[in-house]
Amino acid sequence: MRGEVKSIAASDGFALEVATAQGSRRIRANRLVNAAGPYLRDVGAMLGEDVPVKCVYQQKISFADELHSIPRGMPFTIDLDDQVLAWSAEDRELLAGNAATRYLTQPMKGGIHCRPDGPADGTWIKLGWAFNDASSDPHGEEPVDPHFPDTVLRGASRLHPKLAAYVGRLPRGAHHYGGWYTMTEENWPLIGPMKTPGAFIAGALSGYGTMAACATGALCAAWVTGNPVPDYAKALSFERYSDSELMAELAGLGKGAL
């Protein structure tokens, strides 16, 4: 059923009010899995729980590589090195003089993604760079950064020099888009039972959702059905917050601990 969950009453199972295109519907469930991505907190609040996650907006661009700067057989590459973007002296002075753009002249963390997109005989490529650290409200307007296409092209062209030809000259029809990375402060996912009996959670996968989705689903299903879970399962659930030793270790590792 496609719709928006408006309320959840937890009593002898769960009664959900769901707004659909055909009108409001009420459904019942014996078990509930909160897999609402950026809206994990919303579903948690309907159960009277505070889910400790934040949402950070990250962006990508995709376009037709008319200059064939990226070979179609190239694998998904990630440039992990930190870097300082190359600017002319005049541009650097202008950017540094504005508080909103000063970050573009300062050292930036690595993690630039580049890969061919679509069929092997196509031309499209995709670039991403999750350098944003500021959390934002997923209910509000998307905080699109107009400088992002130029920024990611400049950064990616260090590992893929031919991409520099597109700086300031993206082909017509290019897409600039983004979405929220939902994460805990320690950047470990939440998979397993919630405090409410019969409710479970599968989320906070940060930028690893595609890669971790199948394993997350399998682990959550084991929790839901009461089947055995692996030794590490409790560390990926709410139970880790009662393990002071583990939480201290994660705090020491920093946000890249996943």
What pLDDT score does 253 carry?
83
At 35, phi and psi to the nearest 5?
-125, 45
Domain ranges for the chain, please list them: 1-30, 33-53+185-253, 56-183
- The Cα–Cα gap between 65 and 163 comes to 9
Residue by residue, DSSP assigns 31-76 as -EEE--GGGHHHHHHHTT-----EEEEEEEEEEE-TT--S-TTPPP
What b/e sequence results for 125-153 when a residue is b if at least 16 CB atoms lie within 10 Å of its CB, and e otherwise? bbbbbbbbeeebebeeeeeebeebbbbbb
CATH number of this structure's domain 33-53+185-253: 3.50.50.60
What pLDDT score does 101 carry?
92
Mean pLDDT per block of 10 residues along the chain (258 residues) reads: 95 94 95 97 97 97 97 95 93 94 94 95 96 94 94 96 95 95 95 97 92 96 97 96 94 64
Residues in the chain: 258
